[in-house]
Structure 1
Amino acid sequence: MPRRADCTTRRAMDMELVIPRAVHDAMMAHALAEAPNECVGMLAGTSDGQVLEHLPLVNALADPRRFVTEGRSQLQAERRCRELGLQILAVYHSHPTSPPVPSRTDTDPEENLWVGQPVASVIISLLCTPPEVQVWWLEPHAYRPARWRIAGG
């Protein structure tokens, strides 16, 4: 049965994700360091969309077209969020050989547990220099653009 978005989910999906320049740059460095494989990580912050923490995770697959988060790194990231009183605002990953647009796997709720959740999906494409970033809300077998911006110099 499809999950229904509640009021909290709808409000979260309308927020603007604000990514500090330092966090943006750290995500780019992570994506480039993991190439040619996909990287994966989380962004944590406050309920109004302010990103405060960059939490790189381990891709257990070490694969250029897919990622599976290694359990220990995800548990450590979630523990860090709890310790700091932050919530997970986004999950990011790279597309080393394709544009920053969600793939079928990205929007498949059987493959991606974040689909339909109030957590944005940040996709970093390594096709261009510098890498291109887009942010999306993922829904079962669909996606829509999220409002976002880079803050600071």
Structure 2
Amino acid sequence: MQRLPDAVTVPETLAAALIERARRAGPHEICGILSGTRSGVAEHDHPISNRAARAHDRFEMDTAEQIALFRDLREAQRHQVAIYHSHPLGPPCPSVHDRAGHGYPRVPALIVAPCANGPKLAAWWLTPDDARPCPLVIGSFFVESPLCPPTQ
């Protein structure tokens, strides 16, 4: 089994592209997967359609697209580095829905928040009961996770 990465590293250009795409999506959440050939180092963005009925405050990845991507990643010998989605209006803090719906506890969740006053990206280790910051490096800069209120 692959060990958990010490941090998620995202190139500045990829981080900027995620923030811009989330901004352009307006009130709807974007989602997808970042992949790379090295654990914890993002090299590629794989947007996946958000099929949630409440796409303004939820995300649900298109299952067929997700399965096809997993097959492609396996064939290309690339790893899932992070599963991402956006919070169009709020901070990059995980909600109770984010925690409950994150089915891959060994893959960090990256939240993109284009309108946040502080950091616009934050990485988290999510389980249904907990959200812990995952170290995030954009380019060569460490990004401090925001202080988030406890979720119910």
Instruction: Give the TM-score taking structure 1 as reference length.
Output: 0.80
Paired residue secondary structure (2:74): helix
Is residue 93 of structure 2 the alignment partner of residue 105 of structure 1? no
Aligned to 1:56, the other structure's residue is in SS state strand
Indicate the residue corresponding to 1:3 in structure 2. Answer: none
Counterparts of 2:23 and 2:74, CA distance in 1:
28
1:129 positional shift: 6.8
Distance 2:22 2:71 in 1: 23
Provide the residue aligned with 2:147 in structure 1. none
State the 4+ residue runs in structure 1 displaced beyond 6 angstroms: none
Matched AA of 2:17: A
Aligned to 2:149: none
Tell me which residue corresponds to 2:139: 151
Which segments of 5 or more consecutive residues in structure 2 lack a partner in the other structure?
142-152
What is the percentage of aligned positions where both structures have the same residue? 29
Q: Deviations over 1:48-84 (max 9, x none)?
A: 3111211111001261100111123212322331232
Q: Which residue, 26, 37, 44 being the options, matches 1:53?
A: 44
Q: 1:142 to 1:29 in 2, by over 3 A?
A: same
- Determine if the alignment matches structure 1 residue 92 to structure 2 residue 84: yes
User: How many equivalent pairs are there?
Assistant: 140
CA–CA separation in structure 1 for the residues paired with 2:136 and 2:62: 27
3-state SS of paired residue (1:107): helix
SS at match of 1:138: strand
Contact 2:86 2:113 survives alignment (8 Å) = yes
Question: Is the counterpart of residue 120 in structure 1 residue 125 in structure 2?
Answer: no
Q: Deviations over 1:85-129 (max 9, x none)?
A: 101111010011221110001111xx3322xx2100000113337
Q: Which of 59, 66, 77 is the aligned partner of 1:67?
A: 59
Q: Show the counterpart of 2:35.
A: 44
List gaps (5 residues or longer) in structure 1.
1-7
* 1:31 correspondence with 2:19: no
Which secondary structure does the structure 2 equivalent of 1:105 belong to? helix
Question: What is aligned with 2:9?
Answer: 18
Distance 2:119 2:130 in 1: 24
Q: TM-score, normalised by structure 2?
A: 0.80
* RMSD of aligned Cα (Å): 2.3
Range with greater deviation from structure 2 (117-126 or 130-139): 130-139
Corresponding position of 1:138: 126
Quote the Cα distance in structure 1 between the aligned partners of 2:81 and 2:103: 14
